[in-house]
Structure 1
Amino acid sequence: MVLGAVAGAAGVWVMDRLGWFMYNWEDPSALAQEHRARPGGRDVAHAMVAKAGEVTGLQVPAEQPNAAGLAVHYGLGAVPGALYAVARREVPGVRAGNGALYGFGLFAMNDEVAAPLLGVASGPTAYPWQAHVRGLVAHTVLGVVTESLLKLFDRAR
């Protein structure tokens, strides 16, 4: 599980590099629509921190990025990565596409379902198609990186 968490966090790092590259080439009007759709103007991880602050009464940093938001962001890759490391041994089918299926599942469940249900993102129709494609591609890469690192760790043991 520890190696899965490490692989998942590394996958987040690579996902971010690709996601920011794609973001920087997007149509400015699509980016404006995406920013309008974000609750409180925050990305999901920072919106989760803000919501936790509201619920607990704790003061959280308003600026983005901040340490708490980044910790949540990486945690959203590390925790599922740890679970994936176990699942891939028990149910080899989850490895499909060298982890691409896993990355797609994270995108679908986290971005398209859980975040809107938790109120830390707007519903899918509020975002431009470019944001969905960027998320899909970046999360798929996260899955492939996570699986590739886990394979590497398997060989090293």
Structure 2
Amino acid sequence: MNTTTADLLADAVIAPAAGYAATKVMEPVSMKLYQLESDETRRREDAARPGSPSQIAADKTLGLLGIHLKGKARGQAGAALHYGLAISWAPVYALLRRTTGLTPVAAGLASGAAMSLIVDEGITPLAGFSAPNRTYPAVTHLRGFAAHLAFGLAVAAVTETAWTILGRRPPH
């Protein structure tokens, strides 16, 4: 597959929109799945959760720089980290599509699954942005995985639509 510089530049422009839109899809999916959990499971999960992982990550990261935000600015930093991660992950989809024979659905599912496993199940607890994985009920991990699959599929939909409009869609 021959990827041009113009393709890569288009991908760099599309990825932020795809990542942002995909997060807007993922959040209600995750919330609906959370609401479907039993009261006992939600109680156990809420008791295990030390706070929003994005907020904890923002606090810790900024703290390393000697910055300690309060109030609205603190919340904005957490949201920026959350959306920044989504935007920075969206190019994984384009990379998979442009360098493998994966279909849009397969590449979307693979990129969402990879984000779930690498970020949520790996980096987040190891960095102390959440409680250790074993602290949460199994359904919490399954919900996160399913929500990230929705993220990947939404990135695929936005990216494929933009590629089609721009005439830069790879084959498959």
Fold conserved between structures, TM > 0.5: yes
Which segments of 5 or more consecutive residues in structure 2 lack a partner in the other structure? Answer: 1-11, 167-172
Which segments of 5 or more consecutive residues in structure 1 lack a partner in the other structure? Answer: none
Pairs within 5 Å for 1:36-51: 36-38=47-49, 41-51=50-60
3-state DSSP of counterpart to 1:93 = coil
Matching residue within 113, 136, 142 for 1:127: 136
Pairs within 5 Å for 1:109-124: 109-124=118-133
Which residue in 2 is equivalent to 1:137? Answer: 146
Distance in 2 between residues matched to 1:44 and 1:149, nearest whole Å = 26
Which residue in 2 is equivalent to 1:5? Answer: 16
Which residue in 1 is equivalent to 2:33? Answer: 22
- What TM-score do the two structures reach when normalised by structure 1? 0.87
Number of aligned residue pairs: give it. Answer: 154
AA of the residue aligned to 1:18: V
Percent identity, please. 25
Change (3 A) 1:61 1:131: farther
AA of the residue aligned to 1:53: L
Matching residue within 134, 144, 156 for 1:147: 156
Are the counterparts in 2 of residues 87 and 94 from structure 1 also a CA contact under 8 Å? no
Greater shift, 2-11 or 140-149, is seen at 2-11
Are the counterparts in 2 of residues 5 and 79 from structure 1 also a CA contact under 8 Å? yes
AA of the residue aligned to 2:88: V
Instruction: For residues 63-112 of structure 1, give each alpha carbon's deviation from its aligned partner in whole angstroms, at most 9, with x where no partner exists.
Output: 8x921111111111100113432442123438552511111111000111
Structure label with greater radius of gyration: 2
- What TM-score do the two structures reach when normalised by structure 2? 0.80
1:123 CA drift (Å): 2.1
Distance in 2 between residues matched to 1:57 and 1:99, nearest whole Å = 38
Q: Hey, which bits of structure 1, 4+ residues long, moved more than 6 A?
A: none
Which residue in 1 is equivalent to 2:99? Answer: 90
RMSD of aligned alpha carbons: 2.0
